[in-house]
Structure 1
């Protein structure tokens, strides 16, 4: 709405000082011509907007002028919980609300504190998604988020590794982990986790969702993550690493590799160390350990060593000299 945009221009000028028409247009995602019209409307309503000419010119408010129109709407107040994650707010449909809320909060601060907030925004940025992975399409995220907030039951069409299924869920919360959205919901008397990108369809029902008494989303997620990790790593691999291998291990295996290194003993005369690395299974460990190349030697268990030797032998036969 134009009234909201006029207020945003006013707050931008109050918070940041002089801004050019192209800068305002970029902030508001409108044309420069629209900015010209909006600034004229502000001036006509009595707001002392000053237009400075020249290469370093732009629009600014008359010195000493400050607006008190900083009240937050309900949507803007809700969006503040995602203030450190603008991309997540945008995916939930709260991007514009978050931008407006931040402007209003900054306008309400004393000049010194406002300058400190702006400095933090200029120098720190949170980018939640992992490297080298495109963002997953989540076409049903906004509907799911609304059902979570309003406490309404969901009917979903879901695709898992077992196949496709249709079921009704009592949504309990949304979690953003590594750039991936997960829905925590009750189904059949159990609390389960669903990857939102795997929803093929979703419909919010008129029925109220049943929420377990005292349910704590953060505590449930922490416990689920702990159980998942303990169930995931069912075996161990004993490795001897070269100095370069010790650098590669945490890069290839993340926190699990870093913990294995931290628990390792001192290096031998050649700088090699022995580590015990948790692995999911023999088959998966063979694939993962091949990434370390000759910088790691598998000492055990015997079945993993034999499986790796068989794989390397097969690769050598395939890529060895012919004829």
Structure 2
């Protein structure tokens, strides 16, 4: 596998370089000795037929044919990890759900993995544990088809909190797989705004003839991905959380949000700042860490978390 990684790195380096690459840079990129670097260059040129030319001025190596690609399928370890994760995600669909549409994709993915000498029959050795995952429901195929065909949908949607069912006409924008569950970002023509719907809460769904209204992806990200959680909206506040030194080592490498900021404090604790709009999901995640986290601000969030903790203590006191 190490030799494969060397060949892959060298090929990517040559593809993205506009000018001849000096030998020293090749050696640094491959992170190997001078002799090994020469062997990798020779293998890429002589065995794989790469159009490598040695330039005198400036001195270095370059491809004479920018369209050259490695024969067969070649992937970095990170890309292989993504492919294996995709294979497991496809396997997680309940029987009968999108089987006809997904079978060709599953077969193609198996071919790619076999080309890398990975035994697809051993997929069970890679586990994706799904915590609190909900079945996507009977209407997932209709919804996914409308997203890809850019058609409007008429849905009956049940609000989980109240149990109220409303009928809406929506323009689906994208499906989102978040924390092992499926959500639909859509323009709601009833509310005249962007909304996120839990797919498993859709009780009826029918594709309409009318074309979906397309929303600029930048606007989608700004309004639906700008703050914390799946039902986010544009950020209106920033949560400042301080984690104890014992928990800080884990939190420092976690991503709670793409725009988060974190700093180490002198006592070894870690301060994390996260933009948010609705605090429901954020409060639940804060409560997971119990005494290892303190909300420094804003005051409303601090009071909300403290109230939830007090309610939990009171419930245990009543039970005693």
The structure with the largest alpha-carbon Rg is 1
More helix by share: 1
